[in-house]
Structure formats: C-alpha cells, structure tokens
Structure 1
Amino acid sequence: MRAACREVGVCRTTGHNWKNGTTIRLKDGTVKVVPPLEPLSTRVISSRFLSEQERVQIADLASIGLGPTAIAKELGRSPSTISRELRRNLHPTGQYRPFHAHAVAAARRRRPRSLKLTLNAGLGEFVRDKLRQRWSPQQISRALPHAHPEEPGMRISTEAIYQAIYRPETGLLRRPEPSPLRTGRDHRRGHTRPVRSRRRFAAPMVSVHDRGFEPEDRSQPGHWEGDLIVGPNHRSGIGTLVERQTRYVKLLHLPVQDSATLHAALVASLGALPAPLRRSLTWDQGTEMARHLDITRDTGIPVYFCDAASPWQRGSNENANGLLRQYFPKSTDLSVHTPHDLARVEQELNARPRMILGDRTPAELFADLLASRKHPLLR
C-alpha cells in the first residue's frame, strides 16, 4: 500500500480509504459513502471478456456518434457484445463511463450468494440481538447449539457473521451506522508488529520473571492481572483487574488517577477475598503503582511488574481492556462513570460465556471458587 500510494502521489490514509471504502460526514450533515475497491476489477481476465482499455475505446467511439455495429467492427467484437455493454453498464446519470462500467461488470462477475442470515429470519434476529448485547461473533456462534439444540438450521460459523457485518447490504451493518463489533471496525484490518523497548524501571520492583510460572500457565486460581484504561490527557481512568484462571473482571472506580487512590481501591477490592484467591498481582510499569509495597503489606498480595512494551505478559487483562473499550470508548472522559455504572458493566461482562472456559461464564466459575474451600483447579 505504501508503494502504491507513493506511485499515485497520495497519502496512505487516502489509499486505504480508496481500497477499503469510507464514510464521509460533511459539515452540513450530508453523509457520503465511498465504496471499497472491487478486487476483481484489477485482475487480468480472459480475452473473451471486455477489458478496461476496450471499454475506454467504446466510450470514445460512442461519444463521436458511432453505433454498436461500427464500434464492434473497430474493436473486432460482436455487435451484440457492444450493444449489451452499452445497455447494461450505464452510469446512473445515463452516460457510459468506462471505469464505472468496468467496476460494475467485475462486481457482477463475482456472483455473490445470499448469506445465511438473510435467508433465515430467526437466525438473523438471534445474531442481531446478541450483537446488541455486545457479544462477539464467536460467542454467538458457539451459543446457538445450546440455545437451539433441536434445530440444525440455527447454526452459523464465526466467519459467516463477520462476512455479514462487513457486507452492509445484509442489515447487520448499514452505513453510516456504527459497526456492532467491539473494535468498531467495518472492514478487516491487518495485524501490526509488536514494539520492543528497554525496561523503564529497576529494583525494588519485582519482575514478572520472578513470579514462578509462565504467562501461559493458568493452572492455579488467585493470580490477578491489572492495568488502567485512561481518558484524554490521562486526566481520568478506571482500574481493571482480571483473575487469570476464570477471566473474572473487577473494575475500580478512581475519582483521581494517582497512586494513593489506586492503593485504596485495590485494598477495598482484593482485601476481602480469601487467601487462596490473593496469590499475586501482575501490573505494567506505570507510575500509578508507586505504592506497590504498601499494597503488598495491606493485602498480602505480592506485586510483579511486566517488561516494558510486553502486553502479552498480561494477556488476560489486555483482552479485557479491549472488551471494556466498547463501554468506555477512547478519547472520552471516564470520570463521568459512577461506581454503579462500573458495577453494571462488570456484571454484564462476567455473564458472557467464554469459549476458553468451555462456554461457561466467568461469574459462574468465580462463584464456584468462592464456595469451595479447596478451590479446585479448572480443567
């Protein structure tokens, strides 16, 4: 994409908008939709079909008044081919525009099938209802066999739901309405490479490598991961905690984003848990954890710190923060959310079935841990 934009002489943002399409909102409230580039229009096709260059010649010859027979003789094509081309691929203005005609012909060559969600009204309504509840496509796909065990027609794959979202004509996403996905995306996006940098802090902070187990090991309950999601200019924030084994989420109301407020919130949230569920807390190297020794003293939880630019060492918490951004979008003031708002979001998030938990919910598993004296391991 970078090389193509450099060749054409446009910025990469413009190039991505041309390729993927975009929605433009003008100052007068008008909404313009730029459709994505049709991939088939750029491919080399059989000589049996009209090429883009031939369509340019057709437009030039038709503009000087030549008819289908004369144009066909000039191009070495059948008159019926030219007549059908001029009739089927006209621009909405009534003119024949070669580049528009080539894109329309390429889109018609795709011959798309109707999606399953448009053919099965009950299935489509189930998917729309769960998307409104902020379920992911994977959670919806896995919930269908449990919700409709005797109806084989009520099945759909995760990829089919994503395709229905990315195709606006299905009704799951109608531009300019926002995307129902948690990421807010209306098209696929490539992955980026992780950025690596040196450590920011030294002792007395205890490294995550001294924790005694690898980030992939979740065999023992009571190990937590934490972080902050912050508002504009770091003037507001919400603390997030995730229990590594059950993926249970706790949210911390922080009226002020400083180490003293976070210390009080962590003591109130984790201090009441039984000792087997207070084994460790893993955090990043943020200044809000300046009182980590006080947290360990008041709660009995040792605090470990991740390497700089290594979010995978707190994978469960990073995933939870991504889910929470659907409730608390970036660049918004987080101080307007009350403790009651955080409790509602926390309850809704913990009530979702998770594939990694065998389609059980974090709330259900965490309640089992609290009710059990031995705190059995999850298998």
Structure 2
Amino acid sequence: MTDKPTTSLTIRRPDDWHLHLRDGAMLRAVLPETARHFGRAIIMPNLMPPVVTAADASAYRARIMAALPADMSFTPLMTLYLTEDTDPADVAAAHANGIATAVKLYPAGATTNSASGVRDFEKVRPVLEKMAEIGMPLCIHGEVTHSDVDIFDREAVFIDKILKPIRKKNPDLRIVMEHVTTLDAVDYVRDQPKNLAATITTHHLIINRNHILAGGIRPHYYCLPVAKREQHRVALVQAAVSGDKRFFLGTDSAPHTDPNKLQACGCAGVFSASNTMSCLAEVFEAADALDKLEAFTSLNGPRFYGLSASDEAMTLTRGEPVTYPSHIATGDGPVTVFDPGFPLHWRVAD
C-alpha cells in the first residue's frame, strides 16, 4: 500500500528576499505580480540614479505604495545602494527610522545598473563597521568583475578574495549572500556558524548553463550571476530543500522588456514573480520535500532579518497543469515570464 500523493499544501504567506521592481510604468506593471502572492520583499536599489540615501529610499517606497492596487497588501523592505561615498550616519538613521532594512553591495560593473558600486572595499569599511554595530544586514552580489576571471568562476573567487576578508575584519556584520549559484557558496554558508545566510532564486533551482547555451542562445535564461553546471544546480536544490535556516528564497525576479533582452548585448535578468510558487512546489515535490517548502519561502528569511513570519496563510493545490501568460504587458513593452520547461501542476488557490 502506497501513500496517496499530496494534493494540497497550506503554508504561511511567503516573502521574497530579493526583488527588482524598477520604476515608473514597469513598476506599476510588475508589482501586482509579486503582491498577489508575497507579503513582503527586499527591494533592490539599482535604479537610475540608484537609491543611495534615506531620502531616496523613502521616496522610492512612496512610489511603490502608490503603484500598489487598492485590493492588495504588500510591504516593501527598502535597501540602500552602497557607494564609496555612502555616509555611515545616514545609513544608521535610515535603519533606526525604519526606512531601510538593509544595505546592498554591488561590486562595480557586476550587473544591471551597478556602475556606481564598490571598487575599493576599504573605502566602505566605516559603513560596514557601523552596520555591524547596529545589526543592519548587508546584502551582497557576490561576484568579482575582473576581466581575467572567467564568468563561471566569479562567485567562487569573490568568496576567497572579497567575502572572507570582509568577514574577518567585521565578524559581527550580518551578511546575506544573494542569489548563490555554486556548490562553493553553499558549502561556505554551511561552514559558517553565525551571521551569514544566502538566498536562492527560483530559476537557479531549475536551469543550468545548458539551458542558456545548448542548441542556440536563449536570452530569457541569461541572468547574473549566470547559471552554472548541473552539479551546482543540484547543490542549490539540496540546500533549498534541506530546511537549513541559512537558506531562503530570493527570486531576483528582474524584469526587462523583450527588446532589451533580444539584442546583440542583451540585459541580464529573469522575470519569475508570476509563477514562482508553482515552480517551487514542483521542485520541492520532485525532491520529496514539500514539507520543507514553508521553511524556505516563509520562515527562514524572517528569522534571519529579525522579523515575525506572516500570520496569513497560502494554500497550493495540485491538479491539471496551470498555464501562465508567456508575457506581461507593461507601459515600456512586453516582459517574458520565466518558462521552467516543464508542466506546472501546482497553483496558488484563490
């Protein structure tokens, strides 16, 4: 006699600990795709110009709330873009006043709109020391950008050359390694007893570099950090489904219009806000770990950030395949929704 397959799962409402909403017409179009399912999200600050100061973050938050449909509830958790000129006092005030939840570190040139990021890490030492003192987390895009480092090795080199020295000098600094993509990163997080966690994206649990390159270039799977070998994808799945409190969901859902993706030098980013929960349920079911989905999406993130888990519930049901739109329309142009490449039988119940 075999157990009947699970066809319904109720969890606390999830949060997204790494999200791009952009601004203007794009913001108005993509925000409902997240707010439909997620109660809170860490909002990335890499606008043009970037969200650097407390005043910038407060103004951006106001624009987000103005764009939120009246029948939806959602809390944006703002971040400040770390530059070599960032004022430690402004950062501390933003945190104390509830304006900014975290600070985001982009190595200069690492990804979309990161030109204002950090080149000399010694110049941001005072900010990092102040953050450690007040308990404010640092969210890191963990890649070096040196031209002599292979793009598939940039995360591992960052850990050795940048992250380890930062943590040695600031052991009390709370750090989130965002969108980890390698076994190296998973092992490093597992080896650290405190003050370090990692987010994992939906798409990195599903695609490897073959999805981007084998049989032709598929720009809608191109992201940064770029997807790696299959062994790394497997390591990410094992970390996500383990229940380990140091790993939690950060979709890195990053909308770009199709004209900006489909060109000679296309933008990096995968837009997955619409179907993330269906995709994740498939991944966790395949790993026989549906009972760990709530920890990954709804519990581990709030725990690391010192917040309470949601009091709201979400129910997912399994049945005939659910179809999501291939694109969403925005005032800036169409945005392609992430295609996992397999049927999605799980859906969020109304």
TM-score, structure 1 as length reference: 0.23
TM-score, structure 2 as length reference: 0.25
Which of the pair has more CA radius of gyration?
1
Higher RCO (C-alpha 8 Å, min separation 6) = 2
Task: Please identify which structure carries the higher helix content.
Answer: 1
Task: Please identify which structure carries the higher strand content.
Answer: 2
